[in-house]
Amino acid sequence: MFRKKLWVMAAFSAALSGAVAAQPVPQLTLHDGLTVPQLGCGVWELDGREAYASVSAAIKLGYRLIDTAQYYQNEAETYQAVLDSGIPRSEFFITSKLNPRYSSEQEIRKALDRSLQNMGGTIDLMLIHWPFGADELAWRIMEEYVRAGKFKAIGLSNYHPDALKRMLKIATIKPQVNQIEFHPYNSKLDELAQNQDLGVTVEAWSPLGAGRQKVMADPVIESIARAHGKSTAQVILRWDIQHGVITIPRSRNPRHLQENIEVGDFELSAQEMQDIDALNKNAALWDI
């Protein structure tokens, strides 16, 4: 296992040799004034060693928004990559998510405390990973953690508008973010508008369709990419950014990590945005 970890790190280092940090990442201001990078690095489906290698490589390229979750079982390794970077923790914005498997107050507190222990005692943004029976109880506990300074902000993930409105009714601290599946084949522009009207920032998980939707081979997106001299992935991430969406692509490939962050030097026209909007098929990867 140790040899495999060394091999993974060596592969990332070799691929990154000579790499130059990309353009500055645009920033978004959440409704409470907290500033967050609009493009980050996700670690879904990566085991601990892969998460450590991917985040280490991403940090060298300029990523400062890092997204993990209890469910991914790689919080500690993700945070270790941040520590080992030598860059002050204050320069990062780190998100994790509560696993909705817990139903009692004691279980929820233990789970949140484990995440805090895994990630140095403070978390910038803690989300509820998806709706569950005790999510209102969990929200009230998470509000306590904000007041205690353990979380800077809290939010939701995979909450459809009705579920979001339900949580807003009981919240004394408003959700900052709702992380949902958002890509050109499942764009949910109506949900995006509803979230934004409610003052909740949308964050896109699997913005490139997790490589399973063939969205990056779409002829419309390919044509736009050729016009700008960019990849289809870069066009999709730029589409996210221009929609005011935070986006967190995940990659095991350091070349893709570098490509994904290089989206600050071009802009899609209004017509190109509309053309990508029109690709929606309501084709969700998962029915959450």
Task: Tell me which residues are annotated as active site.
Answer: 72
In 3D space, the residue among 226, 264, 258, 188 whose CA is nearest the CA of residue 16 turns out to be 258
d(CA 34, CA 224): 33
Helices within the chain (DSSP H only): 2-16, 48-61, 75-84, 105-118, 135-147, 161-170, 189-197, 219-228, 232-242, 254-261, 270-277
Tell me the three state secondary structure of residue 224. helix
Computed from CA positions of residues 35, 74, 180, 167, in that sequence, does the dihedral angle turn out positive or negative? negative
Q: Are 19 and 258 in contact (CB under 8 A)?
A: yes
